[in-house]
Structure 1
Amino acid sequence: MIGDGMGVTQISAGMYSSDKQLNLERFPVIGLHKSYSADNLITDSAAGATAFSAGVKTYNGAIGVDMDTMPVTTILEMAESAGMPTGLVATSSIVHATPASFYAHVKLRKEYEEIAADLMETDIDIFIGGGAKYFERREMDTRNLSDEMRSRGSEVASFVDTKLKDIKVKKAKRIAYYTADSEPLPYSQGRDYLVDATEIAMNFLDQRDSLDKGFFLMVEGSQIDWGGHSNNSDYIISEVLEFDRAIGAALNFAQQDGETLVIVTADHETGGYAINTGSVRGQIEGAFTSDYHTADLIPVFAYGPGAEQFSGIFENTAIFDKMKLLYGFARR
């Protein structure tokens, strides 16, 4: 679970704005990762997510490729090769940098239609996020990728014609659900699907795990970052609190299941966010040093089998290495 742009202050602001304990406070293991990319002390989401997904430091803007622009195998692709069901959930478009870095291999993060085409090369079982236009009204070719998914037996739906809770999960072979034509709205403007999407994805993947090998799911609280870029405390806080509720859903699943590892982190901090004098609980006086990312160390929270692997201070690429080890892929 990735809270894009979520540093310690973003978490603190959410904590001091909530009338109850955050779900993040339930984690027994906490570490810190070094977020820098291969070409800059300040990473972007593309390089940051590629470090998590494939274990390589690469240049800012790179999606699933190394410094030489060569494709690198991701943890999602490894899980698919091992026969595990996989999924992605995001409050951005599904072709945005973070989710894209788990399945696509392109030189630049803005190549959204190329990224959408790369999704067709995977066997992903469920994805929920925005970006329908990059699949259905493409400028680079005449393909309708949603129709192609339907021809392969996928259940394809969108917020326009089907509520998320109404998708036929039990009957579906695979699920593609578009939450927006382009980018979804902020939570404060009515978007509220992240908790439901997380629960639906976990349960669907668990049901699909017929070989009892486990599954891989990446969930992104994408717009915490956008609040940082906007230097907007209220935007940050509302997104952190929604993301925390999704974390709670994942923790509840893991506690009941007993076999699921939940990892929560961020790719970088955004905004150089600080809580200033005059702040009180429920009313944060925030200040910013930047409208871009910073090089802060980033917290990592872990719960479940193997959680102890995530304590201490380590490179962001180590998150991939630890997941790979715990899945058993490192021994294959």
Structure 2
Amino acid sequence: MTYKSIIFIALLMTLFSCKPQITKEEVRPKAKNVILLIADGTGLSQVSSAFYFKKTRPNYARFKSIGLIRTSSAREDITDSAAGATAFSTGQKTYNGAVGVAVDSTKLKTLIEILSPQHVKTGLIATSAIQHATPASFYAHVLNRGQYEDIALDLVTSDVDFLAGGGRHFLNKRKDGKNLLEELKVNGFEVDTTALGSFTEIKKHSKIAYLLAEEHMNAVSKDRGDFLSNATELGIKFLNKDPAKSSFFMMVEGSQIDWGGHDNDADYLISELIDFDDAVGKALDFAEKDGNTLVIVTADHETGGFTLASTPKKKEDGTAYNDYKEITGTFSTKGHSATLIPVFAFGPGSESFSGIYENTEIFHKIFELTSWKKEN
């Protein structure tokens, strides 16, 4: 037998002795619940401020999956909150000012309208009026975000299960004379206009609406207290009170970070951002214990062109210099900017939020990572 023949036989024996490798495609678990936290007006510099000014470790530091979104609206390079939130709630771009409607003014189905018939519990929390652009975009359909009384009409007939925020006077001090607080009760809501209750007090109700301010909630610097984090914790408990029968979706907005940016008020902005970070902590604490909850933290846009700059100072001789040992929040605009916005995710499928993509993908990724259906 020749040398070449021996080599050939040896290779042949090796080939047939090898067992075929059967690879199983890993099936990723689906998220049962989704908590979407929106820090209105927050770009990377706003998030960074928590790492310099919060006295404890920021909850933002707990995320491992981080991506970026482009936030331009359908007609403008720079979005507003209405178009930005509508992109999240419907998966479609629209024009600035539009709430739950397309560019052609037709109604778009929102997350809440899609999920409620699927026995998914839903909740909305904001430090603004609950009829303000961001929360409204999850249940209302109006051509212009300023139509607060029309938005309130949509709220009354919506399928939201848990509400917490301001906006009473759009319900009971209306031009048409209607008292929509009473209509909320007729439509199944337990209404409280005084303070957040305890879970023990409210768990027997099917729907709860906390409307705790005539228009917007106070700023955290003006004695709002721990409303946002407490409402987040209470909302989770209420929506998850019967986990064997239903899952839940909840949107939490830190509304006034944006207002600090518009005012070019760094102290206002940073205090609201830190307050929002506390609410993020409540969502992450639940998600870590639960194991079935996807937490997404992002923003609709950036406001103020905010920068953490070195503090400008002067020497004794009057020469100006930048003190790199001290930070001052500075601004480049009173409006919004077009900067990319960070997205932080935790829980089942969180790695899918890495990369750079359009803001509408938040909507689509939620459905990809849950068993919920986009159409009903």
Q: Which residue matches 2:205?
A: 172
Q: Which residue matches 1:110?
A: 146
Per-residue Cα deviation, 1:222-264 (whole angstroms, up to 9, x for no partner): 0000000000110111001000000000000001111000000
**Which residue of the other structure, out of 108, 111, 135, is the alignment partner of 1:72?**
108
CA contact (8 A) 2:196 2:231 kept: no
Per-residue Cα deviation, 1:106-148 (whole angstroms, up to 9, x for no partner): 0000000100101122121110010000111111x23211111
CA contact (8 A) 2:167 2:213 kept: yes
Matched, 1:197 2:240: no
Matched, 1:154 2:189: yes
Cα separation, partners in 2 of 1:182 and 1:208, compared to 1, 3 Å: farther
Q: Which residue matches 1:309?
A: 352
Matched, 1:82 2:118: yes
TM-superposed CA distance for 1:210, in Å, is 4.8
TM-superposed CA distance for 1:171, in Å, is 2.1
**Which residue of the other structure, out of 260, 265, 269, is the alignment partner of 2:293?**
260
1: CA distance, partners of 2:351 / 2:178: 46
Q: Which runs of 5+ in 1 are unaligned?
A: none
2: CA distance, partners of 1:245 / 1:268: 20
2: CA distance, partners of 1:101 / 1:320: 13
Q: TM-score, normalised by structure 1?
A: 0.95
Q: Which residue matches 1:211?
A: 245
2: CA distance, partners of 1:143 / 1:156: 16
TM-superposed CA distance for 1:15, in Å, is 1.4
Larger CA deviation: 246-255 vs 178-187: 178-187
Q: Which runs of 5+ in 2 are unaligned?
A: 1-36, 312-322
Q: Which residue matches 1:238?
A: 271
1: CA distance, partners of 2:139 / 2:185: 19
2: CA distance, partners of 1:331 / 1:122: 18
TM-superposed CA distance for 1:280, in Å, is 7.1
- SS in structure 2 opposite 1:218? strand
Q: TM-score, normalised by structure 2?
A: 0.84
Letter in 2 for 1:243: F
Letter in 2 for 1:285: T
- SS in structure 2 opposite 1:65? coil
Q: Which residue matches 2:166?
A: 130
Q: Which residue matches 1:247?
A: 280
**Which residue of the other structure, out of 197, 201, 218, is the alignment partner of 1:185?**
218
Over alpha carbons, which structure has the higher Rg?
2
CA contact (8 A) 1:31 1:301 kept: yes
CA contact (8 A) 2:81 2:301 kept: yes
Matched, 1:59 2:102: no
1: CA distance, partners of 2:332 / 2:139: 33
Matched, 1:144 2:187: no
TM-superposed CA distance for 1:308, in Å, is 1.2
Cα separation, partners in 2 of 1:36 and 1:125, compared to 1, 3 Å: same
TM-superposed CA distance for 1:77, in Å, is 1.3
CA contact (8 A) 1:104 1:118 kept: yes
2: CA distance, partners of 1:186 / 1:57: 31
More strand by share: 2
TM-superposed CA distance for 1:154, in Å, is 1.9
